Structure formats: C-alpha cells, structure tokens
Amino acid sequence: MATAGNDGIEQLAKKAGQGDRTAFSQIVRQMMSKVSALTYRMTGDREAAKDLAQDSFVSAWENLPNFRGESGFTGWLYKIAANKCLNYLSRASTKQNVSFEESNTDSLTSDRSAGNPEKTLVTKTLREDILEFMQTLPGMQRAVFELRFYQGMSFGEISRQLNKAEGTVKTHYRQAVIKLRKTAMAKGWIS
C-alpha cells in the first residue's frame, strides 16, 4: 500500500529541506488528502482531524532541516501526524470530550461507489463502523494499525518512527487485528 509517487515526494522533500517553499507547497498539495484521512481515522473527529493535519504539515516544514532522509519522507510525515493524534487523544482523554461523529461525514468523499446507491449505503456504514472501531482501540494500537494497515509501513519502520520495540509494535498490531476480527464477526462483515 505504498504511496504512488513516493520518489517524487522524496525529491521534493530534499528540495524543501534546503528551504524551497514551492517544493513544500507541492508536498502539501499531494499529501494533504492522505494525512487528513489518517488524522480523521485516528481521532474520529472531523474538525480535529483538519487541525491536526494542518499542524502536521507546519511541524514538518519547521523540522525539515533535521530530517535526515533515512526512513523516507512519507513515513516521517505519517509519524508526525500519528504523534499529533496521540497527543490530541491523550489530552482529550483527560477532558473526556471526544466522541465519535456518527453522522457528520458530509464533507467526505464516497466517489468510489457513486452511481450505486445500495453500495454507497453499505460503504458508508462500513466506513463509519471502521471509524467507530478505531475509536475503541487504545492510542498506540490505533497508531500502529493505521501505519501498518493503511500506510503499509513495515513493523521495523513503525518501531523506529514511534520509538517502540518491534515486538511491542507487533503485539499492538495483532491485538488490533483480533479486535477487528471480533467486531467484523459481530457486525456481520464476514461470516
């Protein structure tokens, strides 16, 4: 599930690291959709997801001089976004004001199933179910599941990016998959 055009992004990141604002603007344009999808899945809150995605890019711009390019720019950017979400979740858990938005998904696209109302409904329900499921996972499990399943990162890379032992990362992922399997059985996604 590697991002298409990663090589282009890496080149742009190199230029942006040298202070090229135009290159960074291109990165923002190419990656905003993916990063905001990540923050949305992790938080389940549309407005928070937008803010966190924007913050992630601003942090990336400020920290680019320190980016050594060892792990790839996209992985690094996802790490920034995931960490922003984890911080948000830990702050929110103390305030206890985060709730999953079940119906407020108007600005989300559903173009893949456009033209087929039945499939649109199923897709929308599944999308919301998955969002709901993600909110049941503890923060670190959520981050690991997101980076592994949706961003296709290897366990080694996730371990480096989140600064956790690889074994711990694998345990988090497996626990998330077990929960997902149980949820899928309960909701009837699979028999």
Partner 1 sequence: MTCPEIRKLLDLSFGMSGPDPALEEHLNRCAECRGYWLRLTRLADEMPDDTQYSFDDAAIESMIDNVEEVIESRRVTEKSSGRSFRDYSYRNLMRLMPSAAALVLVVGVGVGGYFWGRSVPQVIEPSGYSAIVDPFVMDRELYDEPDEPTYDVLVSRFAGERPYDASETLLGDITEEEFNYLSESFHVGDIL
Give contact residues for partner 1 (rule: CB under 8 A): 1, 19, 21, 24-25, 28-29, 32-34, 36-37, 40-41, 46, 50, 53-54, 57-58, 61-62, 64-66, 107-112, 123, 126-127, 130-131, 148-150, 152, 155, 170, 173-174, 177-178, 180-181, 184, 189-190
CB 102 to partner 1: min, Å: 15
Name which of 94 and 166 has its Cβ closer to partner 1: 166
Name which of 72 and 134 has its Cβ closer to partner 1: 134
CB 152 to partner 1: min, Å: 8
Whole-number Cα distances in Å, 66 to 18, 60, 163 = 11, 10, 17
Token duo for residue 129: 């179910």
CB 1 to partner 1: min, Å: 8
CB 178 to partner 1: min, Å: 7
DSSP string, 149-180: IIT---HHHHHHHHT--HHHHHHHHHHHHHHH
CB 94 to partner 1: min, Å: 26
Q: Which of 36, 56, 71 is nearest to 161 (CA)?
A: 71
Name which of 64 and 96 has its Cβ closer to partner 1: 64
Q: Which of 24, 20, 21, 17 is nearest to 65 (CA)?
A: 17
Name which of 100 and 149 has its Cβ closer to partner 1: 149
Name which of 160 and 187 has its Cβ closer to partner 1: 187
Q: Which of 125, 115, 128, 28 is nearest to 74 (CA)?
A: 28
Whole-number Cα distances in Å, 170 to 11, 47, 179, 180 = 31, 31, 14, 15
Residue with token string 């923002």: 28
